[in-house]
Amino acid sequence: MSVKISKYPGVGLKEEDIKGKKVLTTVWPCNLKYSWSAGVAVGRFLTELKNGKIIGRVCKKCGRILIPPRMYCEWCWKPTDEWVYVKDTGTINTYAITHLATDGVTRLKEPMPIAVIQLDVPAKLPRFFAGFLHYLGEVKPEDVKFGMKVKAVWKPPEERIGSITDIKYFKPV
Amino acid sequence: MEGKIGLERKIAVVGVGWSGFKPFTTEEYRELIFEAAVKAYEDAGGINPRKDVDGFIGVAEDLWEGISIADEYYPDQVGAVFKPENSVSADGIVGFISACMMIQSGVWDTAVVEAHSKISEVLSVNDLLLFALDPVFNRPLWNVDPKTKKPVGGHPYMFAGLEMNRYLAETGTTVEQCAKVVVKNYRNALKNPFAAYGSNLTVEDVICSKVVSHPLKELDASKFADGCVVVVLAGEEVAKKYTDTPIWVKGYGFCSETSWLECHDWGDSVYTRISGEMAYKMAGIKNPRKEVNFAEVDDTFSYKELQNLEALKIFGRGEAGKFVEENLTAIDGDFPVNPSGGSLGQGNLFCANGLQKILGVVLQLRNEAGKFQVSKAEVGLAQAWRGIPTTSGAVTILGR
Amino acid sequence: MHFPIKRRVAVVGAGMTLYRRRLQETTKEMVFHAVKMALDSAGLTIKDVDAVVGGSAPDLFDGIHMKGENVITEAGGALKPYLRNFTGGTTGVSQQINAWSIVASGLADVCISVSWEKMSPCHPHPQYAFWTIFDRIIERPLGVNLVWIFALEMNRYMHKHNIKKEDIALVAVKNKANALDHPCAQLPAKITVEDVLNSPVMCWPVQRLDISPPSDGASAVIFASEDVAKKITDTPVWVIGVGRCEDTTYWMNRDLYFPYYAYYAGQQAYSMAHIYNPRKEIDVFEIYDPFDYKELHHMEGLRLCGKGEAPKLTREGVTQRDGDMPVNPSGGLMGVGNPIAAGGGMKVCEIFWQLRKEAGKRQVKKDVTVGLAHAWGELMQGSSVLIMKV
Amino acid sequence: MSLDKISNPEAIKHWTDVIPPEYVYTVGVAGERFFREIKENGRIMGTKCSKCGCIYLPPRIYCEKCFDYIDEWVDVGLKGRVYAYTVTYLDVDGSPLDKPIIFAIIKFDGVYGGLIHRLGEVEPEKVCVGMVVEAVFKDKAERKGSINDIKYFKPSD
């Protein structure tokens, strides 16, 4: 706001004005379909998830293991060098307890713990580690702790489709 | 803008790299970008982006990727982590110009521009084109089937049909002349090893192809391709460090016409005319037909090539069709247009079309175009349009 | 960054609409309101304008593909060079870098930079659009929600420095109270720390009053070259530093407790502005605060205090409007509203008004000559910084 | 470039998904009046700039040339001329339409802008640029305050 300006434009509306059709509206249910290439790195990652394994890529220059895998090391800016399987265990780097569903309005019946899992992989650069976001299970939300050791719980092989959700959740060990 | 445009600081293209240009690629798009970036950096004398590049410009449009905030997925594969970086949602040439302006304002010496297309991933391109329309006055002309959630009510290429109809009516250009553009560009593509759609067609093939939206036929519209182009730019003082064959940016311009399709000049390419005037002025070009040797102009639809050539004042209004018929715009003609095959021959790369044009011009100016090399390549022009239903375009003029 | 910058660039006008959960105006009309006000405040007409930069975040809010093309005429860009900058949440400030470079390079003398966001068309809730910012294959199938990643970051930050929620809530209390004096504010309120701690949990540790609201709104500023600026105003506000930086896409591979992206963006801007001690040399700050902890997080990243020390400064009242280092005197996104790109744009407007001493009831107590606007966004990975001086 | 590439066709993986939000757009301040006039009075109204006299259709709350607010409303009539037209044979998904749709841009005398709409009651071969056409409205009871309250434009004298 500037003292030189006395009036600011805009007509605020309430949800009832739109739902109750007090103002005219147009609607468009967008339903855009995509089929994204998983590519070399993530394609292999998904294949291995289906096999019940977690795979990463190694950059020999900085020594990091990149998970989720990618074909280039952003830090050294060179192609990564080889594939490596890692254990499906790790620690909780950070966590949160969600009460909200994906759409941002629906509230979950049961709050669900989620966490960034730092996989048990030697860290070569400070502040970088290998891991990903996933659910936590078989643990009460209030019992989740930083640094807690966790292990992946996999879906039975016949239910796996090559997706991040082939891991049901991580549970404390 | 009297007297305001000045390229005080000379800028050179010192490296170009590309990947894809195929109807379908198996890599993830970031892997595709990495591949193009490796080539571009090698082309620029083997620079290391982590050390030698001051800034990066990304070009992306969210829904062509299926990602909101496409910029998030930009830094890693070009080497931009923790480096100055910016993104524009515009044509590749506008991204190129943004980088030029950053260099000319003095903050960067070396810049990288990247644009890509992974259009094969978008299963509902036409729905998306409708999604770009004004939601109040234009889009409701289409209905959405409540069950399938699919819009119905006419192919969105009808906007190209309208434009073509008006252009033909205003200039007296014929559909045969438009078809000739298609024939020429597909043939040029046969000479271009990285063109996706090289083909030997006849004018009859084009005219007898299926009508999409009269007067627009199926073959008048370019087909899609995946691909990525990365360009490395450098200020004069550093350019020579990287390459012996710097290609100088002589002028640039970009322009948008209107956000109201109802007010758009459907017969003329006004945005191209204004961007062209801007670029010519900056480059000190008075007679483009004589002072520019060849051009890569937008040809996502056949008539666009003619319309754009006229807007760029390379040919008089209504004359482009005639000159194309006389083979003046062939590779060995007096004024080659789209010797690379253009978007028709190489495939429509959407946001990356502009950089694809720049790539074509740079290869010619360096005499590296092989079989599609034009005989005289001192000054070349690249122009691009953002596609239906937009009214934005950009031009850049490059020279040896 | 070696070449001397030749042309000085000033901000000469600013304008904004009301920020509301739902505005009746279409995107086009909103943008016109903001641009018109900015032009009027600068005493310029559309004929004086050489180029236009638009800035707006995801197309899925407005519900228009290539939405930059949807406001060309309204932004004043008809038949002119026009481009849309888009870097997610940082757009509101990163677009100013584009606009600045258009003038600094000599291409234009006057450039409009307008940011807008109309989030209300997206149903069932604008939050839903945020699902699409996540990795298409590795994250989206988990049903990710935007609040998740902030909760994860906030928790890590709190854990690392042993910070209490009570301290973080003070930011929400301060900003919402500051917004009481902002005529455009969407959620100004007098609240207490208890109100924040008792508000519904969204994703622990984030509660409702920790979050800024989704909004509709637009804001605009005008950039001018030195010649023009000196002609039309006695108090041009000079742009003296710009910076922008992005960290890796893989946020789940980084320790989230410290915002290195803000650190590097800040460093770029400080070095351009020849600022060595930002805490002492900059007088007023508008720091991106979509969540209350983010203000603290970014204060540390921008080197205004040591790691983990920001809560202490807040508790001591240093960041209040009458404090030694006022942060978000406007009310920030927490109070004024968060129409993503326009949220950043509002921060630039506020610094402009503060430096011109036009902020009325919101004017900070200390004398101000240098101000900083900061925006942050994307997958918790990018920052842009703009430093201005009167 | 990494040397690891996909060489086995069976290793090509795709992830198919949709972007699902739905959208409800307000028609805006100018749109509100415009569509209510169509719905209730069957009139097509534009706005006029009192400074330069330019009449805008679709109506706006501002004049783009003077860059100022405008609020004078004028009836532009129901008759206009075809400025450009096209006959569309395919549907959005590329399948053939049962009956081709004729789209046209219709310009009104003395008005800047116009309307994009369908043409009806005419064979595609008979349409030409410059042809005079007239708006055909839906029955009043069926009108909802949308551009579709105009069914189509038909040839007129």
Q: Which residues of D touch A39 (CB under 8 A)?
A: 6
What are residue C23's phi and psi, to 5 degrees? -110, 145
Instruction: With CB atoms and an 8 Å threshold, state whether A37 touches B131.
Output: no
pLDDT in tens, chain A (173 residues): 466 777 889 999 998 999 888 999 999 988 899 999 999 999 999 999 999 999 999 999 999 999 999 999 999 999 999 999 999 999 999 999 999 888 888 899 999 999 999 999 887 777 899 999 999 999 999 999 999 999 999 999 999 999 999 999 999 99
Closest chain D residue by Cα to residue B138? D116
Which of C152, A11, B122, B284 has its CA nearest to residue D18? B122
Examine residue C219 and state whether it is found in any structural domain, yes or no.
yes
Residue C85 near chain B (CB below 8 Å): yes
Least Cα separation, residue D69 to chain B (angstroms)? 17
- Interface list for chain A against chain D, based on CB atoms closer than 8 Å: 11, 13, 18, 23-40, 42-44, 46-47, 71-72, 79-80, 162-163
Q: Give the C-alpha separation, B63 to D34, whole Å.
A: 31
Task: Return the CATH number at C271.
Answer: 3.40.47.10
Q: Give the C-alpha separation, B295 to D7, whole Å.
A: 38
> For residue C188, what pLDDT band results from cuts at 50, 70 and 90?
very high
Residue B35 near chain D (CB below 8 Å): yes
Angle at which helix B175-191 crosses helix B158-171, to 10 degrees, equals: 110
Residue C386: CB partners within 8 Å, gap ≥ 6?
A: C93, C96, C97, C100, C239, C241, C242, C269, C348, C351, C372, C373, C374
Residue C52 near chain D (CB below 8 Å): no
Amino acid at position C309, single letter = E
Residue C23 near chain D (CB below 8 Å): yes
Examine residue A3 and state whether it is found in any structural domain, yes or no.
no
pTM of this structure: 0.96
H-run or E-run covering D151: strand D150-155
Which of C346, C132, C100, C109 has its CA nearest to residue C218? C346
Which of B167, B166, B176 has its CA nearest to residue B326? B176
Which of C71, C93, B125, C92 has its CA nearest to residue C83? C71
Number of domains composing chain A? 1
Instruction: With CB atoms and an 8 Å threshold, state whether C16 touches A165.
Output: no
Instruction: With CB atoms and an 8 Å threshold, state whether D146 touches A26.
Output: yes
Q: Which residues of A touch D8 (CB under 8 A)?
A: none
Instruction: With CB atoms and an 8 Å threshold, state whether A74 touches B28.
Output: no
DSSP of C33-82: HHHHHHHHHHT--GGG--EEEEE---HHHHT-TTGGGGGTTTTT-BTB-E
pLDDT of residue B203: 96
For residue C199, how many other CB atoms are within 10 A of its CB? 16
Residue B267 near chain D (CB below 8 Å): yes
Q: Give the C-alpha separation, A150 to D151, whole Å.
A: 63
What are D4-48's pLDDT values in tens digits? 888 888 889 999 999 989 999 999 999 999 999 999 999 999 999
Amino acid at position D141, single letter = A
Q: Parallel, antiparallel, or unpaired for β C122-123 and A54-58?
A: unpaired
Closest chain D residue by Cα to residue C63? D23
Q: Which residues of B touch C105 (CB under 8 A)?
A: 100-102, 104-105
The mean per-residue pLDDT over the stretch C175-189 comes to 94
Q: Give the C-alpha separation, D1 to D4, whole Å.
A: 9
Q: Can you give the residue range of the structural domain that contains A87?
A: 39-172
Which of C320, C322, C266, C272 has its CA nearest to residue C298? C266
Q: Give the C-alpha separation, B77 to A78, whole Å.
A: 9
Examine residue C174 and state whether it is found in any structural domain, yes or no.
no
> For residue B343, what pLDDT band results from cuts at 50, 70 and 90?
very high
Q: Which residues of D touch B163 (CB under 8 A)?
A: 84
Nearest CB to B156; choose among D6, D16, D92: D92
Instruction: With CB atoms and an 8 Å threshold, state whether C106 touches B104.
Output: yes
pLDDT of residue D126: 95
Q: How many CB pairs under 8 A join B and C?
A: 224
Residue C302: CB partners within 8 Å, gap ≥ 6?
A: C262, C263, C266, C278, C285, C287, C372, C374, C385
| Torsion over CA: D124, D125, D128, D131 (sign) | negative
Q: Can you give the residue range of the structural domain that contains C324?
A: 9-123+213-389
Examine residue A19 and state whether it is found in any structural domain, yes or no.
no
Chains that touch C (3 or more CB pairs under 8 A): A, B, D
Which of C152, C257, C362 to probe by mutation at the A interface, max A CB count within 10 Å? C152
Q: Is pLDDT above 70 for C201? A: yes
What domains does chain D contain, in order, with CATH numbers? 22-155 (2.40.50.140)
Residue D4 · residue A11 · CB < 8 Å:
no
SS3 C220: strand
Nearest CB to A29; choose among B28, B122, B144: B144
Q: Give the C-alpha separation, B158 to B275, whole Å.
A: 26
Instruction: With CB atoms and an 8 Å threshold, state whether A32 touches B135.
Output: no
Examine residue C138 and state whether it is found in any structural domain, yes or no.
no
Q: How far is CA B327 from CA B200, B293, B330, in A?
A: 16, 15, 5
pLDDT of residue D3: 77
> For residue B7, what pLDDT band results from cuts at 50, 70 and 90?
low
Chains that touch B (3 or more CB pairs under 8 A): A, C, D
Q: Which residues of B touch C3 (CB under 8 A)?
A: 9, 106-107, 109, 235
On the CB side of C298, how many CA atoms lie within 13 Å of its CA?
30
Q: Is pLDDT above 70 for B2? A: no
What are B253-285's pLDDT values in tens digits? 999 999 999 999 999 999 999 999 999 999 999
Amino acid at position B354, single letter = G
DSSP of B182-210: HHHHHHHHHH-TT-S------HHHHHTSP
Least Cα separation, residue C336 to chain B (angstroms)? 23
Nearest CB to C253; choose among A100, A105, A131: A131
Per the model's pLDDT, the better-predicted residue between A103 and D79 turns out to be: D79
For residue B281, how many other CB atoms are within 10 A of its CB? 18
Examine residue A70 and state whether it is found in any structural domain, yes or no.
yes
> For residue C4, what pLDDT band results from cuts at 50, 70 and 90?
low
Chains that touch D (3 or more CB pairs under 8 A): A, B, C
> For residue B1, what pLDDT band results from cuts at 50, 70 and 90?
very low
Please tell me what DSSP assigns to residue C254.
B
Q: Give the C-alpha separation, C196 to D92, whole Å.
A: 50
What are C315-350's pLDDT values in tens digits? 999 999 999 999 999 999 999 999 999 999 999 999
Examine residue C133 and state whether it is found in any structural domain, yes or no.
no
Residue C31 · residue C302 · CB < 8 Å:
no
Examine residue C181 and state whether it is found in any structural domain, yes or no.
no
Residue A93 · residue C257 · CB < 8 Å:
no
- What ipTM score was computed for the predicted complex, to two decimals? 0.95
Residue A114 · residue C224 · CB < 8 Å:
no
On the CB side of B17, how many CA atoms lie within 13 Å of its CA?
25
Examine residue A110 and state whether it is found in any structural domain, yes or no.
yes
pLDDT of residue C1: 44
Amino acid at position B305, single letter = E
Instruction: With CB atoms and an 8 Å threshold, state whether D25 touches C78.
Output: no
**Chain centroid offset of residue C86 CA:** 13
Least Cα separation, residue D120 to chain B (angstroms)? 14
Largest CA distance in chain B: 62
For residue D121, how many other CB atoms are within 10 A of its CB? 13
Q: How far is CA D107 from CA D77, D145, D156, in A?
A: 11, 21, 14
Where are the extended beta strands (E) located within chain C?
Answer: 9-16, 51-55, 82-85, 110-118, 122-123, 201-204, 206-207, 216-225, 237-246, 284-286, 370-377, 382-389
Which of C27, C46, C110, C145 to probe by mutation at the D interface, max D CB count within 10 Å? C46
Residue B85 · residue B75 · CB < 8 Å:
yes
Q: Give the C-alpha separation, B227 to B64, whole Å.
A: 13
Q: Which residues of B touch D90 (CB under 8 A)?
A: 154-155, 157, 210, 212-213
Instruction: With CB atoms and an 8 Å threshold, state whether B137 touches D116.
Output: yes
H-run or E-run covering C187: none
SS3 B307: helix
The mean per-residue pLDDT over the stretch B297-310 comes to 96
Number of domains composing chain C? 1
Q: Parallel, antiparallel, or unpaired for β A82-86 and A54-58?
A: antiparallel
Q: How far is CA B269 from CA B130, B138, B230, C53, C70, in A?
A: 21, 21, 27, 21, 18
Please tell me what DSSP assigns to residue D94.
S
Q: How far is CA B328 from CA B198, B340, B383, C75, in A?
A: 20, 16, 19, 41
Instruction: With CB atoms and an 8 Å threshold, state whether C23 touches A10.
Output: yes
> For residue B4, what pLDDT band results from cuts at 50, 70 and 90?
very low
SS3 B297: coil
Could you give the angle at the alpha carbon of B164 between the alpha carbons of B225 and D118, nearest 5°?
Answer: 105
Q: Is pLDDT above 80 for C266? A: yes
Examine residue C134 and state whether it is found in any structural domain, yes or no.
no
SS3 A4: coil
Nearest CB to A30; choose among D1, D2, D21: D21
Residue D105 · residue D116 · CB < 8 Å:
yes
Nearest CB to A105; choose among C124, C130, C250: C124
Residue A62 near chain B (CB below 8 Å): no
Instruction: With CB atoms and an 8 Å threshold, state whether B131 touches A72.
Output: no
Largest CA distance in chain A: 69
Q: Which residues of C touch A104 (CB under 8 A)?
A: 124-128, 130, 145-147
Residue A72 near chain B (CB below 8 Å): yes
Residue A78 near chain B (CB below 8 Å): no
DSSP lists the bridge partners of residue C372 as C285, C387
Could you give the angle at the alpha carbon of C148 between the alpha carbons of C144 and C151, nearest 5°?
Answer: 170
Q: Is pLDDT above 90 for B93? A: yes
Instruction: With CB atoms and an 8 Å threshold, state whether B26 touches D115.
Output: no
Tokens of D124: 């595609």
Q: Which residues of C touch A93 (CB under 8 A)?
A: 156, 255
Residue C353: CB partners within 8 Å, gap ≥ 6?
A: A1, A2, C14, C359, C362
Q: Which residues of B touch D87 (CB under 8 A)?
A: 161, 211, 213-214
What's the CA dihedral at C225, C229, C232, C235 to 10 degrees? 170
Nearest CB to C203; choose among A15, A17, A97: A97
Examine residue A32 and state whether it is found in any structural domain, yes or no.
no
The mean per-residue pLDDT over the stretch D131-137 comes to 96
What's the CA dihedral at C116, C119, C122, C126 to 10 degrees? 130
Least Cα separation, residue C264 to chain A (angstroms)? 15
Residue C43: CB partners within 8 Å, gap ≥ 6?
A: C13, C232, C233
Q: Which residues of C touch A70 (CB under 8 A)?
A: 250
pLDDT of residue D135: 97
> For residue B6, what pLDDT band results from cuts at 50, 70 and 90?
very low
> For residue B126, what pLDDT band results from cuts at 50, 70 and 90?
very high
Amino acid at position C376, single letter = W
